[in-house]
Amino acid sequence: MPRDPLIVSGVVGDVVDPFTRCVDFGVVYNNRVVVYNGCALRPSQVVNQPRVEIGGDDLRTFYTLVMVDPDAPNPSNPNLREYLHWLVTDIPATTGANFGNEVVSYESPRPSMGIHRYIFVLYRQLGREAINAPDIIDSRQNFNTRDFARFHNLGVPVAAVYFNCNREGGTGGRRL
């Protein structure tokens, strides 16, 4: 039985704690590129925000979507971990991110050094508008998904997916 890619890649550990997937969750770029764990996408493919589809069955259940890059600016030296690319709250089940409240707008991944992981994490909210103000998210840098979830009582994630991305012309090589 192969290990879970989320564990192998270190997503579980670096960004989130171990969890059990319980909601269908799909991320598609440009209506064509389906994101699966560990797939390699080019920056040109992920310029615009993807279509995010959430499963479930009850429209009264709301979800929060977080997209972070834990390898900013460089996987060998991730001192900006995690870099927040997108934050959407109050997404009703069975719908998509378009129906939610975009707290932090989507920022295109632009990795300059190394191969970065870009992780979508889905949390189930306890209720609607559980996350009121875009509180104290003054900077995308050094975001902490765990703390954010704990602070807003989001609990453990219900789903996650990630992809790899590096600079369009190559990883940028090693710079001391």
| Contact footprint for another protein (CB under 8 A) | 2-3, 5, 8-10, 36-39, 75-76, 115, 164
Q: Which is nearer to another protein, 8 or 59 (CB)?
A: 8
Nearest to another protein of 67, 161 (CB atom): 161
| Secondary structure E strands in 21-82 | 25-29, 33-34, 39-41, 51-54, 62-69
DSSP 8-state code for residue 14: H
- Counting beta carbons within 10 angstroms of the beta carbon of residue 114, is it exposed (0 to 12), middle (13 to 18) or buried (19 or more)? buried
CB nearer to another protein: give 75 or 111.
75
Least distance in Å: CB of 115 to another protein? 7
CB 38, min distance to another protein, A: 3
The CA angle 86-90-91, to the nearest 5 degrees, is: 80
